[in-house]
Amino acid sequence: MNGVWKMNEDKQIVICKRCKKPEYWEEMRWLSGSCLCRDCYRAQWEQEEGELYRWNDLDGERPTMEEYEEARWKSC
């Protein structure tokens, strides 16, 4: 499970390969062959579509780097 760290029993935190920020694994999205965090997904979608992303499904809490590091060390 390289690069995936459990925060608790139901939330895993990963690092987005594009922006290098933490994201919950369950919130990662696929677009144009890339697995993206919600922020990168929104940016990529807006770039491809040429309009603002108007839905609220990408809202919500994002994990912090501190939470990622804490979960990483707890799993070792």
For 18-41, write each residue's pLDDT tens digit: 999 999 999 999 999 999 999 999
> In the prediction, which pLDDT does 34 show?
97
DSSP string, 19-74: T--EEEGGG-EEETTEEE-HHHHHHHHHHHHTS----STT-S----HHHHHHHHHH
Q: What is the pTM of this model?
A: 0.83
